[in-house]
Amino acid sequence: MKYTGKLRLTLAGILMAGVAFGASIANAEPIKIVMSDDSAKVSLKGQTFEKFAEEVKKRLGDKVVIELHHSSTLFDQSDQVQGLQLGAVNFIAPTTGTYATLAKGMNAFNLPFLLDTPEKFSAAMQDETVRSIFVPQLRSKNIEPVAFWINGPRVLGYSGNKDVLTPADIAGMKIRVQSAPVYVKTFEAVGANPVSVNWGEAPTALQTGVIDGAEVTPNAWKGSGMYEMINHLTLTNHMYSYYMVGTSKNWWDGLPDDVRSGIADALKAATDWNLENGLKMNSDDVEFIRQSGVKVHSLNDEQHAAWVAKMKPVWKELGEPLVGPEVMARLKEIAGAAD
């Protein structure tokens, strides 16, 4: 059953679910674990969910019964956080920005050229100063952050006669972006013209010259077929797209210790799989695009530093109001870009 709009869960229903959960523990009945994935089963995230479910079953066997729903068949993107809070689902993994209405500091994780590698992001997520801007806020809303999965680096694809390697090279180009301020400000900072276009309309916009290029992950370039419409791909890696795995704090805290430990171990195994395979898949997609005839560029250290210098005003404008100067300074330190 798919829930859309406001969830039709009554207080009585939620209380009954809680009673049933407690009874299942007391009677040693299998604990039901519901996972909701808003992506396709064949996607990187879909495969990671499959790995997670497999690892849970491997460790806990008949102690649990797992329901895994792909492609938003249980909850769509707008409903899944609410479903988690109400206990209708046990694990979700939307993008970090999905949680930003509950912990606005999480928007800082998408600042350009800041946490732009999995290593930097992992270090930030383990740092107590950084965690203070989102973990308590989420827990107060009955959400326990339990893992982060990667999607991939955002890279710049475009058509034209010149290579884009420095900020000066992109000046005047029309780049498709999401409408969120961080994407708009990023490309305004280097003199480009950001154009907010729905992803489904991007192919037509590129073909008709409404945009000159776009910035998405390699798997999105390949999966959409839009790599066939460009002749350059610059691996700016200006942002890294991540998913945050969340569970209900009340449900998580109420699990028997052995079950919670088994799920945590399974989650670690799935997260390790996601990192290894996510890096490989994106690398393979870049090579596929290269082999198709697209010219692929990488930034050298000097060119990367030039982009970072252009982004520091964006960090100050959008980052400090969200997390404050102390946390922003810590994020820059982790990123290796401290003033």
* Tens-digit pLDDT string for the chain (339 aa): 444 444 444 333 433 444 444 444 445 799 999 999 998 898 899 999 999 999 999 999 999 999 999 999 999 888 999 999 999 999 999 988 889 889 999 989 999 999 999 999 999 999 999 999 999 999 999 999 999 999 999 999 999 999 999 999 999 999 999 888 999 999 999 999 999 988 889 999 999 999 999 999 998 899 889 999 999 999 999 999 999 999 999 999 999 999 999 999 999 999 999 999 999 999 999 999 999 999 999 999 999 999 999 999 999 999 999 999 999 999 999 999 876
* Beta-bridge partners for 31: 64
In order of 152, 192, 195, 232, 241, the CA distances from 290 in angstroms are 17, 25, 26, 9, 22
Q: Provide the phi-psi class of 14: left if phi over 0, else alpha when psi is between -120 and 50, else beta.
A: alpha
Cα–Cα distance for residue pair 170/186, rounded to 1 Å: 12
For 81, other C-beta atoms within 10 Å of its C-beta total 21
Using an 8 Å Cβ cutoff, are 166 and 300 in contact? no
Q: What is the pTM of this model?
A: 0.85
Cα–Cα distance for residue pair 240/243, rounded to 1 Å: 10
The CATH number given to 31-335 is 3.40.190.170
For 87, other C-beta atoms within 10 Å of its C-beta total 19
Using an 8 Å Cβ cutoff, are 286 and 218 in contact? yes
Using an 8 Å Cβ cutoff, are 153 and 116 in contact? yes
Residue 27's pLDDT is what? Answer: 54
Q: Nearest 5°: CA angle at 319, between 317 and 325?
A: 100
Residue 23's pLDDT is what? Answer: 42
Query: Which pair of structure tokens corresponds to residue 254?
Result: 């109420």
Using an 8 Å Cβ cutoff, are 299 and 190 in contact? no
Please identify which residue in the block is written with the tokens 């407690």: 22
